[in-house]
Each structure stands twice: as C-alpha cells, then as structure tokens.
Amino acid sequence: MSDNATVAGQKRAAARAAADMVEDGMRLGLGTGSTAAYLIEALGERGGELPRLRCAATSPATAEAARALGLAVHSLDELVELDLAIDGADQIDPAGWLVKGRGGALTREKIAASAARSFVVIASAEKSVEQLSPPVPVELMRFGLHSTLRALSTVAVRDAPPSPDGGVIADYLGSVSDPPALASRLSEFPGIVEHGLFAPELVSVILIAREEGVERRTGGKESPDDEGPPGG
C-alpha cells in the first residue's frame, strides 16, 4: 500500500470513529479539509440513523459536500450552540496543542470549536509530532495589510484564495517552540483576525488513526461521554 493510500485509510478510520460519536438530534459543527471530507462521507452513510441531526459548516465547500449527502446544514447563528464539533488538524503535539487552518477556514473552525460543548479532532498518524513547527496559518485583515506584514516580518501571504469571510490567508514562519507564548502574541497583534494555534483547553478528544488502530487522547474540554441529552 502506498504512503498516500495509508494516510487516506487512516483519515477514513479516524473519521469513522468520530462519526460513531454523533447522536441523532445533535447540533454538529463540521470542519474543513480532507479529513473532514471523510467525516462527511461517514455521516452520509449513517443518514438514516440521524434524521434530526443539524450541522453547521465551517466553509462553503463543507456545506456543499454535506448537503450533497443529505445532511441538514444550518448557519451557526441558527444553532447558536453546538453539542459537538469535529475537525482535522495539521499538527498535534504531545501536550495537545494543534496547528490548524491549512484549508483557510481557521477563524470559522476556531469559532465552531469554541461554540461546541465538545470538540473532537481527527487525524492520521503523521499529524502527531514531537514539536510544532512552522508554518502556522493566520488570517489577516485586508485593511492595513502592508503595515501588518511590515511589522510581522515572520508572516508571509500565501498564494491561496481568501478565507470564507474574505480575509487574507498567510503563514507565520517563525519559531513555534513556545506555543502558549506565540498564541498570546499573535492574538494581541492588530491586523491578525485569527491564528491557527488551538490550545488544549479547546479540545475534548483527539482521535489519531495508526496502523494498529485508533488512538484516543483526552483534551482539556469536556468529553462527549460526559454530556447530557443532545439538542436544544
């Protein structure tokens, strides 16, 4: 089996494990990217079991894929709160810090994770790293963009479409040796809408698919296993 096939198989395994955590009546946040696409596929296969499932998508591409498989997609403003959000990750370190946002929807993904009672991360084995490394995606305001880039010499605009909300997608290319300090610095800098560092406190469960099976790690946010009845 090729490396690409192995990674694809692991993504599918992690996505299916997460899809099994979804219950009928939940308000579910759907992430963006290739691993989230496998999740949508798995949920589509369970469609008959989840007639009252309501989803909020973090990108137009996710919304389109979900609707194509018969899932009900609403705006997050309609649902207000999510029972569960599920998304992939670009990197996961041993402490539970994540780098996310290579697909350009990092701000919406962080909003969905924050709005969810529980946030589950799904990934293939190569996403698990000993230490985070650049690039870290960031979304920038268009207003004053050149001034922002001049002040942030370690940030470079990516040759990519804008975010779903029209922001400029760029990458922080400096050191990521101290994720909490970097997250704080990027959060406080004018011109940065959001960054792709997700703290462990945002995450309930991390599912990493490996050759021997799906590893489950617990994060700092409550687990779906501890929730009351879904919906609202």
Q: Which of 23, 109, 139, 194 is catalytic?
A: 109
Write the pLDDT tens digit of every residue in 154-191: 999 999 999 999 999 999 999 999 999 999 999 999 99
Q: Is residue 64 annotated as a catalytic residue, yes or no?
A: no
Sorting pLDDT into bands at 50, 70 and 90, what band is 228? very low
Query: Quick one: what percent of the chain has pLDDT higher than 70?
Result: 95
Q: What is residue 228's three-state secondary structure? A: coil
**Domains (range + CATH), the chain:** 3-128+199-213 (3.40.50.1360), 136-194 (3.30.70.260)
Q: What is the mean pLDDT of the chain?
A: 94
User: CA–CA separation, 79 vs 46, rounded Å?
Assistant: 21
Task: Report the pLDDT averaged over residues 8-34.
Answer: 97
Provide the pLDDT for residue 225.
58
Largest distance between two CA atoms of the chain: 53
pLDDT digits (tens, 9 = 90+) for 214-227: 999 999 887 655 54
pLDDT at residue 231 in the model: 56
Phi, then psi, of 94 in degrees rounded to 5 = -60, -25
Residue 229: both structure tokens together: 């009845």
Residue 128 is classified by DSSP as: B
Relative to beta strand 205-210, strand 116-124 is parallel
